[in-house]
Amino acid sequence: MSLISAENIQKDYQTGDICVKALKNINFEIEPSSFVSFVGPSGSGKTTLLNLIGCLDKPTSGKLNIAGTDVISLNRKQSALFRGKTVLTVYENIEYPLLMVEVIPPDDRKKRVNELLEAVGMVDQKDKYPDQISGGQKQRVAVARALVTNPSLVLADEPTANLDHKTAYIVINLMKRLRDEFNTTFIFSTHDQKIVGEVDVLYTLEDGELKSIEVKGGGKKNA
């Protein structure tokens, strides 16, 4: 069963008398434990699509099913709860999912946080403030935050944009390893060719349309 299924997704924005079609009849399926990216020029619809998958917005029409849930039918409160339990961006605050979504006891919370800090190699930095660690270390901590509730899906918008070449690959390889360890699906929106070269499936958007789907090792096909 697919983790995400999108059928004829369309998203329109009304600007005065002008209707802007941000997404046009998008169709795709993403399997569990995937490592995929949406790419395309600015204005192609990448961020809009990630916002729909992250339950931050709803499509104008179409069907969107995530982890067996018809997310379009959810109201605002239900969307927030679903998002907190199922899908987190890499910039979510660690206290929200731990305290507000799962409400786990302090000892269990401490154990989970320490396990993830160890997984991302940041145990020795745990008492430092954000301005005392590097950009790459901040990204590793952000990945740990995103995985704290064992979500099925992590969305990352340009996660390596401000990192140097070496650090970017460290973060990418970390996410791939955690994908394998926790069976988490990672979906990126990016221009970064380093990520493009590492994902398993590449979705190319242009002017709000899904133009092609490339499965690494399996060739490229029109959407």
Question: How far is CA 159 from each of CA 71, 90, 114, 139, 182, rounded to the nearest angstrom?
Answer: 25, 8, 23, 8, 19
Contact 140, 121 (CB under 8 A): yes
178 versus 26: the higher-pLDDT residue is 26
Model confidence at 53, pLDDT cuts 50, 70, 90, reads: very high
Contact 6, 26 (CB under 8 A): yes
Average pLDDT over residues 141-169: 83
Per-residue pLDDT reduced to its tens digit, 37-47: 999 988 899 99
Range scoring the smallest mean pLDDT among 44-48, 66-70, 209-213, 218-222 = 218-222
Residue with tokens 């973060």: 171
Model confidence at 93, pLDDT cuts 50, 70, 90, reads: very low
**Domain architecture of the chain: domains with CATH:** 4-222 (3.40.50.300)
Q: Which residues are paired to 166 by β-bridges?
A: none
Question: How far is CA 74 from each of CA 36, 70, 77, 84, 86, rounded to the nearest angstrom?
Answer: 25, 7, 8, 14, 14
Average pLDDT over residues 82-94: 60
Structure tokens at 164: 């140097």
Q: From 178, 203, 140, 147, select the one nearest 33 (Cα to Cα).
A: 178
d(CA 69, CA 82): 9
pTM (2 d.p.):
0.77
pLDDT(113) > 90: no
Average pLDDT over residues 101-122: 78
pLDDT(92) > 60: no
